[in-house]
């Protein structure tokens, strides 16, 4: 039997592992790669090499399945998908709401932005279906185009005449929020991802929570407020994060996962209250900071 030489992609993937880990497990990883890609095409070999590279990055950053951070990400990943789908549906409802000024379909960039608002919920629904059925490879593959679709809004909006050129905060959030969501889903250890009744219950509960919070924000969006006046409902996601942090304990991984999963939407809803700083923004920030102190104090008490 002839020995197969590692491909260039596999060699680069192995180099991303710590030297000690590569020396001990490099042959094993190569054998797993060869077995998984035997008779496979180029795309399948590249995907397998990408998975090994991601495994190496998790080892370097402490996000492996044997680390607490990796286990928390595995709890957070399905919840982040549910929240991303809810957010994309919310954007579409806002687009279709009466008396809301939206982009007119009078130019190619505008048409592409509007089309993306319709396509995004479909992509995230497909991702959520993959998570629900345990098809994580397909689900995480679809996260990439869903994220790129959101990122494409930034250059397209800059080409429109919608007045967003001066909204630097909004433009930054359109980049940071989808990247945070993708990072949570893609960085989770693959061997901890699956499908179970408890996970489906958590996903259903998170989806219901998203409906309640975004429903409240959507309902109050049409109430009169002074120009520029922040809304109380904009702090609801910060309140969810605060509750999750207060419930964060070693024996409650779901609370830790929820805290990580809601971080992108907390950033999206709270940062506009901080720039410029408002009373609602101060309250939301103080609430999160005080809640974050609770798990730190519990950890210090355990080690004392």
- Given 28, 44, 61, the domain boundary residue is 61
Q: What are the tens digits of pLDDT across the range 218-253?
A: 877 766 555 444 567 788 999 999 999 988 876 678
Are 226 and 270 contained in the same domain? yes
Residue 1 lies in a domain: no
Average confidence score pLDDT of the chain:
84
Tokens of 120: 């995004």
Residue 262 contacts residue 83 (beta carbons within 8 Å): yes
Total number of domains constituting the chain: 2
Structure tokens at 270: 């709270």
Answer yes or no: do 127 and 238 share one domain: yes
Cβ contact 201:244 at 8 Å: no
- Report the range of poorest mean pLDDT among 42-51, 153-162, 261-270, 295-304: 295-304
Residues 211 and 263 in one domain: yes
Same domain, 197 and 225: yes
Asked, for residue 2, whether it belongs to a domain, the answer is: no
Indicate if 219 and 238 belong to the same structural domain.
yes
- State the CB neighbour count (10 A cutoff) for residue 218: 15
Percent over 70 (pLDDT), the chain: 88
Give how far Cα 106 sits from Cα of 112, 119, 155, 184, 211, Å.
11, 19, 17, 37, 32
Residues 122 and 175 in one domain: yes
> Can you tell me the distance from the alpha carbon of 233 to that of 226, in angstroms, rounded to the nearest whole number?
15
| Residues 234 and 258 reside in one and the same domain | yes
- Say yes or no: 140 and 55 in one domain: no
Ranked by mean pLDDT, the top range of 45-54, 112-121, 223-232 is: 112-121
Between 162 and 230, where is the model more confident?
A: 162
Using the predicted structure, report yes or no on whether residue 6 has a pLDDT greater than 70.
no
Query: Both 253 and 208 in a single domain?
Result: yes
Instruction: Give the lowest-confidence range in 54-63, 185-194, 210-219, 292-301.
Output: 292-301
- Within this chain, do residues 86 and 12 fall inside the same structural domain, yes or no? no
Percent of the residues in the chain that have a pLDDT greater than 90, as a whole number: 32
Residue 191 makes CB contacts below 8 A (sequence gap 6+) with: 65
Range of the domain at 50: 8-61
Checking if the pLDDT of 259 tops 90, the result is yes
34 and 133 in a common domain: no
Banded pLDDT at 2 (limits 50, 70, 90): very low
Per-residue model confidence (pLDDT) at position 58: 84
Tokens 């699956």, located at residue = 194
Q: Is residue 41 domain-shared with residue 95, that is, in the same domain?
A: no
Residue-level pLDDT at 151: 93
pLDDT at 182: 95
């Amino acid at each position: 039997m002839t020995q197969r030489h590692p491909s260039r992609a596999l060699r680069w993937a192995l180099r991303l592992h710590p030297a000690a880990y590569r020396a001990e497990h490099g042959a094993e990883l190569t054998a797993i790669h060869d077995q998984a890609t035997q008779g496979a095409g180029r795309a399948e070999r590249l995907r397998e090499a990408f998975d090994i590279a991601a495994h190496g990055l998790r080892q370097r950053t402490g996000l492996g399945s044997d680390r607490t951070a990796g286990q928390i990400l595995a709890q957070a990943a399905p919840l982040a998908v549910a929240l991303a789908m809810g957010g994309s549906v919310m954007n579409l409802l806002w687009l279709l709401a009466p008396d809301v000024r939206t982009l007119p379909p009078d130019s190619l960039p505008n048409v592409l932005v509007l089309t993306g608002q319709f396509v995004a919920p479909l992509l995230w629904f497909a991702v959520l279906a993959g998570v629900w059925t345990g098809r994580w490879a397909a689900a995480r593959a679809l996260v990439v185009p869903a994220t790129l679709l959101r990122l494409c809004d930034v250059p397209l909006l800059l080409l429109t005449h919608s007045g967003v050129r001066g909204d630097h905060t909004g433009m930054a959030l359109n980049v940071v929020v989808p990247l945070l969501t993708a990072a949570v889903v893609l960085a989770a250890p693959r061997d901890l991802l699956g499908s179970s009744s408890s996970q489906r219950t958590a996903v259903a509960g998170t989806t219901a929570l998203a409906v309640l919070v975004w429903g409240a924000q959507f309902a109050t969006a049409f109430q009169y407020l002074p120009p520029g006046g922040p809304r109380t409902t904009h702090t609801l996601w910060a309140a969810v994060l605060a509750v999750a942090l207060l419930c964060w304990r070693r024996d409650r991984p779901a609370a830790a996962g929820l805290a990580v999963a809601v971080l992108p939407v907390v950033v999206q809803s709270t940062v506009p209250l901080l720039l410029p700083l408002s009373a609602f923004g101060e309250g939301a920030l103080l609430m999160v900071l005080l809640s974050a102190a609770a798990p730190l104090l519990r950890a210090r008490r355990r080690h004392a």
